Amino acid sequence: MSANLYAVFRQRFPSDLDTPFITNRDGTCVSYGDVEQQSAQIANLLHDTGLQPGDRLAAQVEKSATVIILYLACLRAGATYLPLNTAYTGDELDYFLRDAAPKLFVCDTASQAEAEDKATRYGISRCLTLGDNGEGSLTEHAVSLPTTFETVSSAPNDMAAILYSSGTTGKPKGAILSHGALAANATALHTAWRFEPEDILLHALPIFHTHGLFVATNTVLMNGSGMIFHPRFDPSSVISDFPKATVFMGVPTYYTRLLGEKSLTKDTCQSVRLFVSGSAPLLNETFQAFTERTGHTIVERYGMTEAGIITSAKPDKPRRAGTVGWPLDGVDMRVANDSDAPVDAGQTGGVQIKGSSLFSGYWNKPEKTAEEFTTDGFFKTGDIGCYELDGQLTLIGRAKDMYISGGFNVFPKEVEQIIDSMDGVGESAVIGYPHPDFGECGMAIVVAENNISLDVTDIKTALKSKVANYKAPKVVVQAPSLPRNAMGKVQKNVLLEAYRDQWDRYLTRN
């Protein structure tokens, strides 16, 4: 039997295809029957454009039900889906298109001219929009095509998607996610979070990211149930729809903003059985405040682009702030020392994993892929943690200096390289601090050439035009030098302590 992810989902569709899959805020609905027919039409279009199994389709589009159907159409056609953050600047987009070499690029109507220019520049066969009309509209072309399509047969290790994940050196890396890996993770989550046919997910996450696309949407499809679709997170709108939902998934930023609304009460949350948080560390005070206000304890989980969800707290067991639960079914996890030997419970070490939901490797980077695995096949996550006596995992920090802002990975080296290229800058270091709203945010410490005086406001302004907003440091300060160890490496732990008071002053003012 085919391991194509759409074929797996199709087996889980409800017997009544009129059952709602996506209900938009305006009341319009996409049923499971609509999914079957519309994904077939788009899959036919992809086939007609010459997209072959394994070819990449890049999509930089705003959130909509049509984007979900496009993703499913890619699966049916055997193509590889590459979602791109809508906040990426032109320079960032150039890198992804050049590296992934997609055959088709789908964009929003507003960015069509720029997208077509990039398609020409990077040899992309065709550029289509998700607009309602026009010569380049994907939906306009697909609407007249057959509503049936024979889903391509796929092996478990065939590529289903590529998601770019920041590392610690060089540019972001494309994690190859197979049909089998995505199906395994969705199945494990469906079991761990005890989904039932009547469950309704309130979906307010972006869908260019693992959390919103694979964790949330795939789990709903695996359950054959519905979701209430918000185009973006708005706390008051989310709270108003809680009575219609049973499950909510968010990042820590969402929960801090929900707590800022007076309408968040035990009554408004009464029908929701499961609140899940991930993509960034959840502060203890947020965990406690949410419990006190709503009577619900948030289920924390731990995951990453390369592996989906790795661990999760359990809905039927007591939850503790700071722990991220137990490994999911199919995940083999260990906390290891520098020699890759497991350490005892209570001892810290590097978190290493293997299992059926793990990625296949980094796109076009076999050497980097090999570096990230141990000799016995465990993937080195780069996170530091320890096992508690009850088997739960507590994360201590990251071995590498990446931090997560608003649920998105920020790779300091990428930002540092841009700052270092600015006139008058000698070198820089970007570090992440805890933030009550975004989980973590950055501070840039900048050293000038020849000790000249720099305008840090100009640096902040310039960065906003060169990187997505979540990557731009909230604070930029000038320093006479950067601390280094005997090997010449910048000691970011020293910087973290040296500038902690300044960060606290920033938080007090803002």
Separation of alpha carbons 274 and 291, rounded Å: 12
* 248 has pLDDT over 90: yes
Contacts of 118 (CB under 8 A, 6+ apart): 90, 93, 94, 97, 105, 124
Enumerate the β-bridge partners of residue 250: 277
Read off the DSSP letter of residue 109: G
Distance (Å, whole) CA 101 – CA 384: 34
Q: Provide the pLDDT confidence category of residue 132 given band limits of 50, 70 and 90.
A: low
Residue 426 has what pLDDT? 87
DSSP collapsed to 3 states, 446-490: EEEHHHCCCCHHHHHHHHHCCCCHHHCCCEEEECCCCCECCCCCE
The mean of the pLDDT values for the chain is: 92
* pLDDT tops 50 at residue 48: yes
User: What is the strand order of the sheet 326-327 is part of?
Assistant: 29-31, 20-24, 226-229, 200-203, 247-250, 274-277, 299-304, 308-312, 326-327
Q: Is 60 helix (H, G, I), strand (E, B) or coil?
A: strand
Residues 457 and 325 occupy one common structural domain? no
Question: Cα–Cα distances in Å, from 262 out to 82, 181, 265, 267?
Answer: 39, 41, 7, 12
Burial 222-250 (b: 16+ CB within 10 A, else e): bbbbbbbbbeebebeebbebbeebbbbbb
Same domain, 285 and 270: no
Q: Are residues 266 and 306 in the same domain?
A: no
What gap in Å lies between CA 445 and CA 509, rounded to an integer? 19
Q: Which residue has the tokens 């007076």?
A: 262
Query: 485 pLDDT exceeds 70?
Result: no
Same domain, residue pair 184 and 42 = yes
- Least confident range from 98-102, 172-176, 217-221, 451-455: namely 451-455
The mean pLDDT value for 467-487 works out to: 86
Shared-domain flag, residues 85 and 215 = yes
Amino acid at 74: C
Asked which of 365, 398, 431 is the last residue of a domain, the reply is 398
pLDDT at 134 over 90: no
Structure tokens at 177: 């996610």
Q: What element of type H or E holds 43?
A: helix 32-48
Same domain as 332, residue 198: no
Q: Give the number of C-alpha atoms closer than 13 A to the C-alpha of residue 404, restricted to the C-beta side.
A: 20
Of the residues 224, 247, 274, which one is the last residue of a structural domain? 274
The encoded tokens of residue 73 equal: 């159409």
Domain boundary among the residues 214, 247, 274 is at: 274
Are residues 21 and 159 both part of a single domain?
A: yes
CA distances (Å), 23 to each of 215, 252, 384, in order? 18, 25, 40
For residues 121 and 237, state if they share a domain. Answer: yes
pLDDT in tens, 332-387: 999 999 899 999 999 989 999 999 999 999 999 999 999 999 999 999 998 888 99
d(CA 45, CA 102): 16
Residue 74: pLDDT band (50, 70, 90) is very high
Residue 497 neighbours by CB distance under 10 Å: 9
Whether 168 shows a pLDDT value over 50: the answer reads no
The pLDDT of residue 237 is 97
| Residues 18 and 77 placed together within one structural domain of the fold | yes
| DSSP output for 189-244 | HHHHTT--TT-EEEE-S-SSSHIIIIIIIHHHHHHT-EEEE-SS--HHHHHHHGGG
The answer to whether 377 and 359 have CB atoms below 8 angstroms apart is no
How would residue 91 be classed by pLDDT, with cut points 50, 70 and 90? confident
Mean pLDDT throughout 7-17? 97
pLDDT higher than threshold 80 for residue 166: no
Q: Which helix (H) or strand (E) holds 99?
A: helix 90-100
In the predicted structure, residue 228 carries a pLDDT above the cut 80: yes
67 and 141 together in one domain: yes
424, with CB counted inside 10 A (0-12, 13-18, 19+), is middle
- Is 428:361 a contact under the CB 8 Å cutoff? no
Q: Which of 4, 164, 139, 150 is nearest to 65 (CA)?
A: 139
Number of domains in the chain: 3
Q: The CATH number of the domain where 427 resides is what?
A: 3.30.300.30
* pTM to 2 decimal places: 0.85
Q: What is the pLDDT of residue 327?
A: 96
* pLDDT value for 345: 92
- Secondary structure letter of residue 497 according to DSSP: H
Nearest partner of 459 among 438, 481, 437, 442, judged by Cα: 442
Report the pLDDT value the prediction gives residue 167, as an integer from 0 to 100: 44
Task: Check: CB of residue 476 under 8 Å from CB of residue 431.
Answer: no
Give the residue numbers spanning the domain of 445.
403-509
- 394 and 454 in one domain? no
Give the CATH number of the domain where residue 212 resides. Answer: 3.40.50.12780
Local structure of residue 186 (DSSP, 8 states): H
- Measured between alpha carbons, how far apart are the two ends of the chain, in Å? 56
Give the DSSP H or E segment for 253. Answer: helix 252-259
Size (the chain), residues: 510
Residue 169 has pLDDT above 80, yes or no: no
The DSSP bridge partners found for residue 24 are 229
Question: 337: domain CATH number?
Answer: 2.30.38.10
**Are 92 and 234 in a shared domain?**
yes
